[in-house]
Structure 1
Amino acid sequence: MTEGSEFLTRIRKLKWINRWGLSKNLVAENVMEHSWEVAVIAHLLGLLARRNGERVDPAQLALAGLYHDATESLTGDLPTPVKYHSPQLQQAYKALEHEAVEMLSADLAPDLGAEIRALLSGEHLNEKEAQLLKAADMVAAYLKAEEERDAGNNSYERPLGYLRERMEKLSCPEVEQLFAEFINIETRSRGPIRE
């Protein structure tokens, strides 16, 4: 095998890893689909933040969104309630993610590996960009949960409330702007953030 060939093989596995493993799903969502959606949302949030005068790079945010869950090609998708159940589990998962970053970037030539390592870990993002990436991930999850709920899947009521609270705690004006400018009127009328 040539250097780098394992990297793309691993990344392509993301399409087989389903999200929301602890929930009944009317529409399956895999990690690859989710990553693309996060990339688009992160890019839009970056554009809004730049318009607000923040020093962010929307293109870097889009790349970060594409790679933000790439380590799950090795770890699988650990459900949020498990991942954050205790400080010990959270610390163990962070260590596992770090190891997955190293394994994925080691699949590449050293010069490419260093660039990919930065994308996988998010270390290339400034504080505001990291906040926007986290927000994009939450918005994508919120939209998925809302889609399921609107299709009659009541098991997503609890995740919707949880995600609303998490988005509120971020205090990110760009999320409110995103919902006001880019999310359809039905979703906007409920709003992700309480007024």
Structure 2
Amino acid sequence: MENNQFYAMLSRMKYVNRWGTMRNTSNENICEHSLNVAFIAHALGIINNEEFNGNIDAQRLAVLGMYHDVTEIITGDLPTPVKYYSPVIREAYADVERVAKDELLSGIPEKMRKYYDSVLLETEEENELWKYVKAADKLSALIKCLEEEQMGNSDFADAKLTIEEYLKNMNMKEVDFFMEKFLPAYSMTLDESVTRLEG
């Protein structure tokens, strides 16, 4: 019997929750998170092209964002402080991610694998694009922190500061533009957003 479980495995992304060591007012799974990252990565590409005269494939950024956490279907979401605790742990986890990627790819016909091989994990060939996906990933995490903060949850306060510092240190004008122009709207209520649209 053929192994054609790849797409069925993708549907399991909704069962893998993020922020497992934190008190959440609203759970976020990697399916939701990946869509947000895809939206933001796409936006960063457009910002690069339209605001800073760049030439980035925004559609490719969206696809990389969609798939950037797919290996967590198998590995689960390892908390960032653990993942980056030491170079030894980071390298060991990278090995686990590579095994997970190969396992997922084995669930699709071989002639189709080339379309997914370069989107399931970062590649040296697209290192520049993956930088934007990483920024989008951090922006998505910051938005989660803002949402939790608005709900009165102080558990995300330190994470918010750490992520803000990380984004600042990325020195990416597209990120700065997104944070200045678009981030404030994430703190608005629906009524405030609709009123502004109507105004």
TM-score with structure 1 length normalisation? 0.90
Instruction: Quickly say closer, same or farther: Cα 1:3–1:185, change in 2 above 3 A.
Output: closer
Instruction: Quickly say closer, same or farther: Cα 1:109–1:124, change in 2 above 3 A.
Output: farther
Distance 1:180 1:128 in 2: 23
Provide structure 1 residue ranges, at least 5 long, that are not aligned to the other structure.
189-195
Query: Is 2:44–2:132's contact at 8 Å kept on the other side of the alignment?
Result: yes
Deviations 1:90-134 (A, max 9, x none): 010111111111111121112211210111123286343121110
1:3 deviation in Å? Answer: 4.0
Question: 1:20 matched to which residue of 2?
Answer: 19
Question: 1:83 matched to which residue of 2?
Answer: 83
1:1-195 equivalences under 5 Å are 1-4=1-4, 6-51=5-50, 52-123=52-123, 126-185=126-185
AA partner of residue 19 (structure 2)? W
1:141 deviation in Å? Answer: 0.2
Greater C-alpha radius of gyration:
2
Report sequence identity in percent: 33
Q: Secondary structure at the match of 2:119?
A: helix
Distance 2:185 2:116 in 1: 38
Distance 1:29 1:125 in 2: 31
Distance 2:28 2:186 in 1: 22
Structure 1 runs (4+) deviating above 4 angstroms are 185-188
Deviations 1:133-163 (A, max 9, x none): 1000000000001110121000111000110
AA partner of residue 93 (structure 1)? Y
TM-score with structure 2 length normalisation? 0.88
Provide structure 2 residue ranges, at least 5 long, that are not aligned to the other structure.
189-199
Query: Is 1:56–1:128's contact at 8 Å kept on the other side of the alignment?
Result: no
Distance 1:114 1:186 in 2: 37
Instruction: Quickly say closer, same or farther: Cα 1:105–1:186, change in 2 above 3 A.
Output: closer
